[in-house]
Structure 1
Amino acid sequence: MGKDTFELAGQQWPKVTWYKMKGMRFVYLTLWAAMITSATNGYDGSLMNGLEAMASWNKSYNNPQGATLGLLAASMSIGSMLSIPVVPYVADMAGRRAGVVTGCIIMLFGVAMVSIGYHIALFVVGRIVLGFGLGIAQECSPLLVTELVHPQHRAVYSSIYNSLWYVGSLIGACVALGTNHIIGSEWSWRVPCLLQGIPSICQLVFIWTVPESPRWLISKGKLAKAKQVLAYVHAQGDEDDALVNVEFDQIQQTIALEKELENNNWSEFWSTKGNRHRSIILISIGFFSQWSGNGIVSYFLPTVLKMIGITNSNTQLTINLILSAVNVVSATGICFFVDYFGRRKLFLTSSVSMLVCFIATTIALARFDADLPSTNSNAAHTVIAFIFLYYISYNIGFSGMLVSYSSEILPYRLRAKGLTLMFFCVDLSLWFNQYVNPIALLNIHWKYYIVYCIFLVFEIFVVWKYYIETKEIPLEEIVKKFDGDSAVLGGAAASEKIQQITGQATEFDGEKAITTQVEYRV
């Protein structure tokens, strides 16, 4: 494949420059209205670190620690898990944009409850409501992004989506550091809680500037509107453009074939070899995203810093801020190289690097138990350095590609349910981390890090064994990697088996694919 072309339906197409195309430029500049859902989630992660470091918040809730602190942090994940039965049906029936709106409205109710909360119970319930809304919005948003952008830009935009978690985290760290100086007032922690509602308000207003997913429109029989959206975003409104016609035919026929030849229920995830392979990836990547050791620092950084003698709240918040900034740069930067290096190489590099960093951190934490001040100082500096290196390693693979890789390996009919399965594993692992981590850190201290060192070895094996490369493969055509000759794929790239079943003949006339579909019965 040439540097100036990309492949779709067995043909080479010239690459485009997004800012030179009117429709694409407008949509890409307004697509932030869907993508900031991830930043909302990141803000919450940083928010809990910030609140934990604030004297005013600890005073308001009687200095929670151990199981109580774990419940306060895990309550949002509980809410996300409660949304699981609802999410795929909202996304598939109401649409991607309507799902984002629904989630944002629910999140605003949660923000109000958390900000008002004078009692732990109200704070917990508020975070459960907040997590329920986020569970809906955080699935619909990446679906809209993945299914709307130009094939050439799928890897970059879908990877950037989840990387924006760190943008929210950075903003949260800045707010917490600033409001911490409001001495002797509960507004030092209430203000950061209230500001969590701003992204949802912005999404409610601006999400309507983003077109609906053309794949969802096709699935609902709105063919003319779907083609209009494809043409507007990918070809400056030209509905006769060759690429638009090839895309439209491939998407339409694939979705029609999926409805005719395949089921659309949860049993699909273990009914075929290809879907069992997908399920292994979805379940593992969900757990790996939180059980690689990042959960300790993401939600309990002040606790870790106290283990190495850093107890000053401003110092803790400053380290949290710098770490968030480094994460923004490293996580978003790697997104532009996903198609250059490939998914599999990045996942393997990430997992191996995380193991090395975690082993070094574990040794440094163990050394800090010594009584020599010089040893303690060196060990503390080593821990801080490897926390930063660890997160850079994590961001190489699991930050941006958590959602993008999970979305692209799924056929349309299973995409919403598949992401729901993956996010359920994320929430389950988050709930475990947020509830168990503070208890483990309180009781066994640095020895808890050994658990994650062992788990990372297992993670490396699973990634090496099951994670396949999807580099520069069009979204609909990735099914061939999992399902082989039995892949359900329409259009010019249809397999011989599908062509035989449907009576579909494909021929190429110059640069434009002409596909003939004859009536068939199954």
Structure 2
Amino acid sequence: MYRISNIYVLAAFGTIGGALFGFDVSSMSAWIGVDTYTDYFGNPNSNLQGGITASMSAGSFAGSIAAGWLSDYLGRRGSLMIASLVWIVGAMVQCSAQNVTHLVAGRVVSGLAVGVTSSQTCVYLSELAPARIRGRVVGIQQWAIEWGILIMYLIAYGCVVGVSGAAAFRICWGIQAVPGLILFIALFFFPESPRWLASKERWEEALDVLALIHGKGNRNDPVVQVEFEEVQEAARVAHQAKDVSFFSLFGPRIWKRTACGMSVQMWQQLLGGNVAMYYVVYIFEMAGMTGNTTLWSSAIQYVIFLVTTGVMLPFIDRIGRRTLLLSGSVLCMIVHFIIAGVMASHGHAVSSVNGNANLTWEIKGSAGMTVIAFSYIFTGIYGFTWAPTGWIYASEVFPLQYRAKGVGLSASANWIFNFALAYFVAPAFHNIQWKTYIIFGVFCCVMTFHVFFTYPETVGRSLEEIDMVFDTDVKPWKTNQIENTFGAEIERKEGKINEVDASHEEVV
């Protein structure tokens, strides 16, 4: 069977798994302020709406926990195929929802699929991509999430203004099945991960895939040879530690990597992205917007998110992971505190906003426009920094034998905090209003110190070379000074090949 060999084409189709996450995010955010939805489901209060929104994250948490075993048993490609089918079922259940319980069940099923795709797409692409462009390839996962958010939001907007009654949200939620079907079909033409093949001692297949992706089919290409040697060594170590359990991720040599992988996913959520993504309509309603103006203003925010991440991807492997994470947390902290200050000094408590009893704080006029402007700025900073880098970093830090389960566990940290915040933000806007932003600002402050003192630099290194970075005693803030041996080994191989070619020419 024909196999796709271009890494960017693989990333484009593979990261439809990320788009599934984005579809589910905005399939709810667009509807929380629309009468068609609220009337049909009994005008859910802030606690119930938080639960509905968070139900997808609960399913994703369970899916990400199971993803490691599924991926190790069926392969990276096989696990994504199963997830695609589960996603289609979830979309069908949501589309046919008759009440809140029915809707929550559909979102949980969809979440199971997203839990697998959000973790194993990163694993799959990181194991295929060359080290020099791994960041931008894995980062396409986050970009796909943002495409999914925007596309589904625009579909929802079209349904709001163009379709009447319950058919509006049913069409919107049913369309979610389409990208799942596309991903399922595309995966038949994907190669399996060479590192997974090596872990099963399928050496010839592993070398063929490496040659297909990195050497245009040439098994003797220097990059292919170096990659294969490193994969062989990693597989040998992995074989000695087979039947890895989750508990082993907290063993003496691995716990620091697990802490980095899980915490970077946790901090990505606690940075405050949920405020901007799930409840952007609430923010703009508090700032004085109404009706379609609120929906279009929210769409602008999603466009900013998409553009900033897209602009960053070509450069993300030239900038250190630490640089992006640290600058992002500091700048987002400043923005959160500014928004909190403006809302506190220029807003006032109300019984409801535009009839929405879930909102009890209002800020209008120029102050409201300031809040909206800084919401846009926050989204841009998030898109440039933590949004793509959090997924990239978590996919890089684990050795082969721990990678699938490690990234799955890291993604579970993302999803459990995603669940908590999706549930927390709606009641927070109701009960503590502007103080919500103070909480997120404090989180940003804490994560800045955590990243600086515990996260080694991984940019530009092979996955096997990153093992060496973690095993040294070099302080995390000095790890960028460690020599990149992967690049030196490729140069050595190329030199040997050139010498052989020169000798052959002399003989001739």
Aligned residues of 1:367 and 1:379 also touching (Cα < 8 A): no
CA 1:246–1:42: 2 relative to 1, 3 Å: same
Partner in structure 2 of residue 276 of structure 1:
255
State the Cα distance separating 1:263 from its structure 2 match.
7.0
Aligned-partner Cα distance in 1 for 2:306–2:471: 36
Overall identity of the aligned pairs, in %: 26
Partner in structure 1 of residue 132 of structure 2:
152
| Uncovered stretches (5+) of structure 2, i.e. residues with no partner | 350-362, 475-483, 487-491, 499-508
Comparing 297-306 with 228-237, greater Cα deviation is found at: 297-306
Aligned-partner Cα distance in 2 for 1:485–1:221: 32
Cα deviations by residue, 1:389-443 (Å, 9 ceiling, x for unpaired): 1111112221111221111111111111111111111111111111121111111
1:377 to 354, 365, 371: 365
The 5-angstrom pairing of residues 364-513 of structure 1 reads: 364-369=342-347, 376-484=364-472, 510-511=495-496
Aligned residues of 2:53 and 2:423 also touching (Cα < 8 A): yes
TM-score with structure 1 setting the length: 0.86
Comparing 384-393 with 83-92, greater Cα deviation is found at: 83-92
1:301 to 277, 280, 287: 280
Which letter maps to 2:394? S
The 5-angstrom pairing of residues 146-185 of structure 1 reads: 146-182=126-162, 184-185=164-165
State the Cα distance separating 1:159 from its structure 2 match.
1.4
Comparing 181-190 with 210-219, greater Cα deviation is found at: 181-190
SS of corresponding position for 2:364: helix
Partner in structure 2 of residue 13 of structure 1:
none
Partner in structure 1 of residue 207 of structure 2:
227
Which letter maps to 1:158? V
Partner in structure 2 of residue 323 of structure 1:
301
Aligned-partner Cα distance in 1 for 2:140–2:329: 20
Residue 101, structure 1, aligned to residue 81, structure 2: yes
Aligned residues of 2:23 and 2:148 also touching (Cα < 8 A): yes
Aligned-partner Cα distance in 2 for 1:430–1:508: 46
CA 1:493–1:381: 2 relative to 1, 3 Å: closer
Partner in structure 2 of residue 333 of structure 1:
311
Partner in structure 2 of residue 12 of structure 1:
none
Aligned-partner Cα distance in 2 for 1:252–1:493: 17
Comparing 448-457 with 379-388, greater Cα deviation is found at: 448-457
Comparing 251-260 with 120-129, greater Cα deviation is found at: 251-260
Which letter maps to 2:158? G
State the Cα distance separating 1:348 from its structure 2 match.
0.7
Residue 58, structure 1, aligned to residue 38, structure 2: yes
Aligned-partner Cα distance in 1 for 2:58–2:430: 22
The 5-angstrom pairing of residues 70-85 of structure 1 reads: 70-85=50-65
Cα deviations by residue, 1:24-80 (Å, 9 ceiling, x for unpaired): 864532432211111110121112111112221111111212111011101111111
Partner in structure 1 of residue 233 of structure 2:
253
CA 1:381–1:188: 2 relative to 1, 3 Å: same
2:101 to 114, 121, 138: 121
SS of corresponding position for 1:340: coil
Residue 209, structure 1, aligned to residue 213, structure 2: no
State the Cα distance separating 1:225 from its structure 2 match.
0.9
Aligned residues of 1:351 and 1:393 also touching (Cα < 8 A): no
Partner in structure 2 of residue 136 of structure 1:
116
SS of corresponding position for 1:52: coil
CA 1:184–1:509: 2 relative to 1, 3 Å: closer
| Uncovered stretches (5+) of structure 1, i.e. residues with no partner | 1-21, 487-491, 495-506, 514-522
Aligned-partner Cα distance in 1 for 2:79–2:115: 10
Which letter maps to 2:250? W
Aligned residues of 1:84 and 1:135 also touching (Cα < 8 A): yes
CA-based RMSD of the aligned residues comes to: 2.5
Aligned residues of 2:22 and 2:148 also touching (Cα < 8 A): yes
Aligned-partner Cα distance in 2 for 1:129–1:310: 34
Aligned-partner Cα distance in 2 for 1:389–1:511: 51
Which letter maps to 1:342? G
Comparing 155-164 with 259-268, greater Cα deviation is found at: 259-268
Aligned-partner Cα distance in 1 for 2:378–2:36: 31
State the Cα distance separating 1:306 from its structure 2 match.
2.2
TM-score with structure 2 setting the length: 0.88
